A and B are shown apart, each in its own frame.
Chain A
Amino acid sequence: MKSRKAVTVLVEIVKYVVLIAGALFTLLPFVWMVLSSLKSGGEIIMIPPTLFPKKVLFSNYVEAWTAAPFPRYFLNTVLVAGITTVGVLLTSILSAFAFARLDFPGKKIVFSLFMATLMIPGEMLLITNFVTITKLGWMDTYQAMIVPWLANVFYTYLLTQFFSSVPDALYLAAKVDKCSDLKFLFKIMVPMNKNAITTVAILSFIGSWNSFLWPLLVTNSKEMRVLSYGLVRFQSEAGAQYQLIMAASCILVLPIVVVYLILRKYILEGMAYTGVKG
């Protein structure tokens, strides 16, 4: 009996050691980013590198923040990420419903083609899409940063999985009650899967928030730039002001962390059912 208890305690200890070590390991870059953002320009390039700043400089944040019109970038990023997220949710919910509940000619083929597009390396589409945007006259506008991202196969697939797991009986009952498809979708399906939808929302928001190459390509004016552009400004061919890059990175990440902390419960629950019905 006693030895058994000892084993249990040992297992517990090992568990925490693994968890803490793992957490430290995964967190290291994050910690490094924060600590580096407080170092001087000289200290950050020291060899061998230091972990903790010898002198803590909060001024890097001020310098990074004032080096570019960050408030405007911030507003743009929130707008673009927000609208993209709402839009992609809407289109994904509609198409997921079609795949999960409706029967239509060519459904299997469309779905396969759909999934196949997941495999395309996005870089290849860049130039053609850029030309399309200019032909539409959308250069330097919000819709150039938003519209191409309003269809997302990955999210549609995820939501299709969730919607399929809602029992058929519910749908048939709704049909008997003369409930229209659209009403059923938004009155029953969506509320039932609100966790999954929250998850897709945050994934989309993070993706849009961090996107860099495309916004840089389709915007020109200061008024249209987004936050991630602020990072490039501290790098050049001859060297980089790492301390400012790190400070700007922290500024970029902070809102996401806050959003995550607020929605954490929903995200975990939202992910929960993907596995139950494959």
Chain B
Amino acid sequence: MKKKSFKGYIYLAPVLIIMLVFTAYPLVRAFIMSFYEDYNAVNGTYSGINIENYRALFASSDFRTALANTTIYVLFVVPLSVIISLLIANLLNSHIKFQGLFQTLYFLPYVTSVIAIGVVWRWILHSQYGLLNGILNFFGIESIGWLTDRRYSMASLIIFAVWKSLAFNIMIFLAALQGISPDLYSAARVDSTPRWRVFFRITVPAMGPIIAYAFIMGIINAFKVYNEVYALFNGAAGPNGYNSAITIVFYIYDQFYNNKKYGIAAAGSVVLFLLIMVFTMIQKLPAKIRARKEAAQK
């Protein structure tokens, strides 16, 4: 077998050095900062070392809302985005005309400017003149205050976020679909298996790893959502003074830049970090159990 040597570290050196300086070091600082009471990030002064920031964090109703919202967001946005992207990618991969054109069209949103996207979505979701309510009215459904009624803030955010994540997911799914060996499909054609069965029997299993990958990346990004909220509510975290769409990162950002409570912001990011770790570990659990079972059977 391959022998162990430190040669690997030579290859890793450039990445490791940069990450030590620009990721690990500030991370450790943030961790330490989270225990400083009344920390002033400008002068480096503080009034004590304790867990006051964490206590203030969990006592804050905004932070609790942020925790709940972020969880809702992760649970809805990620699966919805994956399912829709999978469907569209599958259609794009079937024998259609203008395939190249369609692929390009679906990619374009990925590069559209954030400011433009925000303005457009505020128009689409406008309660009086919005496109979405126009469509609902057409089907006889009453208008909804997407951006004015706090009960719908999260729904609006989820719609927007799903849309926003589509382009990238479609791209990677489409690519994966094109990588599936055609032999698999020709076998199915001989058997004249129905289309939906081909999809679930061949396509989905072959796509398994990339779907898992999209899930993990989706979850990590969903935990970090900030820009979407900011763009949708014009810099706030919900309509009419309510923080009904506040997310964890929005909360951290607000504490850091607007309220200048650096210690609380640091504590918030430590909690976020732990949360994402737990989530990704839970995700990996089924695979581990399976592996253990298999090992036991052998």
Contact = CB atoms under 8 A, between A and B. Distances in A.
Question: Are A and B in direct contact (Cβ within 8 Å)?
Answer: yes
Interface of A: 15-16, 18-19, 22-23, 25-30, 32-33, 36, 47-49, 90-92, 94-95, 97-99, 102-105, 107, 110, 114, 116-121, 123-125, 127-129, 132, 147-148, 150-151, 153-154, 156, 181, 206, 210, 231, 242, 245-246, 249, 252-253, 256-257, 260-261, 264, 267-278
Given A249-B115, A274-B175, A29 B167 contact: no
A33 to B, nearest CB: 4
Contacts of B269: 120-121, 124
Nearest to A150: B18
Contact of B175 (A47, A257, A271): A271
A254 to B, nearest CB: 9
Given A29-B117, A102-B2, A103-B2, A181 B7 contact: yes
B189 to A, nearest CB: 14
B14 A132 contact: no
A98 B8 contact: yes
A256 B109 contact: no
A121 B252 contact: yes
A274 B179 CA distance: 9
A256 to B, nearest CB: 5
B12 A261 contact: no
A96 to B, nearest CB: 9
A47 to B, nearest CB: 7
Given A98-B8, A118-B220, A148-B18, A33 B209 contact: no
Contacts of B131: 28
A105 B7 CA distance: 10
In the A-B complex, list the 5 residue pairs whose CB atoms are closest, starting with the nearest.
A278-B209, A271-B175, A275-B210, A104-B8, A272-B179
Contact of B249 (A28, A121, A127): A121
Nearest to B131: A28
Interface in B79-115: 87-88, 91-92, 94, 96, 100, 102-115
B115 A132 contact: no
A268 B106 CA distance: 13
Contacts of B129: 47-49
Contacts of B172: 271, 274-275
Contacts of B224: 121
Given A94-B12, A275-B176, A245 B115 contact: yes
A123 B223 contact: no
Contacts of A278: 208-210, 212-213
Contacts of A156: 15
Given A123-B249, A148-B22, A103 B8 contact: yes
A27 B113 contact: no
A276 B179 contact: yes
Given A121-B224, A132-B22, A252-B113, A26 B106 contact: yes
Given A119-B276, A119-B280, A28 B124 contact: yes
A29 B25 contact: no
B9 A104 contact: yes
Contact of A264 (B100, B114, B167, B220): B100
A27 B108 contact: yes
A274 B209 contact: yes
Given A16-B96, A33-B113, A124-B265, A95 B15 contact: yes
B121 interface: yes
B8 A102 contact: yes
B26 interface: yes
Given A48-B129, A102-B2, A267-B171, A116 B277 contact: yes
B101 to A, nearest CB: 9
A120 B210 contact: no
Given A29-B116, A256-B111, A117 B210 contact: no
Contact of A117 (B23, B110, B115): B23
A128 B4 contact: no
A121 B178 contact: no
Contact of B104 (A102, A116, A210, A261): A261
Nearest to A87: B14
B111 A253 contact: yes
A102 B5 CA distance: 8
A97 B11 CA distance: 8
A224 B266 CA distance: 31
A264 B256 CA distance: 40
Contacts of A22: 88, 106
Given A119-B277, A123-B249, A123-B253, A19 B206 contact: no
Contact of A105 (B4, B41, B179): B4
